[in-house]
Amino acid sequence: MRLLFICHGNICRSPMAQCVMSDLARKAGLGIGIDSAAVSREEEGNPIYPPAQEALRRRGIPILPHRARLARAADLGDGALLLAMDRSNLRRLAALLPGIAPGQARLLGEYGGRGEIDDPWYTRDFDGCLAEIIACCEGLLREIRARGGEP
């Protein structure tokens, strides 16, 4: 199983989700491939945005080495689930990767009882965004466990 978290530039929400889910999976002893990517080239090569890093540090979540990258066709392999932060990301992802199978791309917010996760680049609420991501990743982990390794 592989999880790919998706946001616009791959410097805030999706790498935060990657760090959170990697930490949760490690603590749960689950061998899940976890990565993140963008639907835009705007931030390609850049690290996690400093305020996002600060929010992760405040919660004690390990920050993984990261360079923003664009989602690519190789991300669609068997067992891959693409988890977008908002509907705009889903639309751009479908245009970027037309080979996405039905049900392969979803909103991460579905796993936390919410829809979209607001972009802290605009809201400046990195701690609130991270709290939403944590809740959604915990919900995703519960579903993975309940389904014996399949989200």
Transcribe 23-71 into DSSP letters: HHHHHHT---EEEEEES-STTTT----HHHHHHHHHTTPPPPP----B-
Q: Which of 12, 13, 23, 86 is catalytic?
A: 13
Q: How many CB atoms lie within 10 A of CB 75?
A: 19
The catalytic position among 35, 75, 86, 119 is: 119
Q: Would residue 145 show up in a list of annotated catalytic residues for this protein? A: no
Question: Can 87 be counted among the known catalytic residues?
Answer: no
In the annotation, is 119 catalytic? yes
Residue 92 corresponds to which amino acid? R
Which residue, among 115, 138, 151, has the nearest Cα to 27 in the 3D structure?
138
CA–CA distance, 140 with 110 (Å, rounded to integer): 9
- Positions marked active-site: 7, 13, 119
